Structure 1
């Protein structure tokens, strides 16, 4: 359990240091994300971004456990 918390802490530190560059990536604006704008209403559902994030996280966790 300690190793998991240390690994997550290091990962968050690295992501924080890389944030200026990571924020330039088009995540959240991928084709397949649903964005509806109407008068007085806006709806955004990041479908493809969520699927991509899930696939990458699954591969990383699978690789760590193996």
Structure 2
């Protein structure tokens, strides 16, 4: 039961760090952006893939400690 708050703090810190990085780095090459008139469609596919890989590695590392 005492591990859950620690895990939530670590995940929160990682999300905060990822938010700062994404804010300052901006759009990655490979992200899809369509602008036509007043309509804008943005799909961050490369960003999603990178976040997925990082989370998979982190969860596999944390899973080994259980």
Normalised by the length of structure 1, the TM-score is 0.71
Q: Which runs of 5+ in 2 are unaligned?
A: none
Match of 1:3 in 2: 3
* Deviation, structure 1 residue 14: 6.5
Structure 1 runs (4+) greater than 4 angstroms displaced: 13-16, 18-21
How many matched pairs? 63
CA–CA distance in 1 between the matches of 2:30 and 2:11? Answer: 28
Match of 1:64 in 2: 62
Structure with greater helix percent: 2
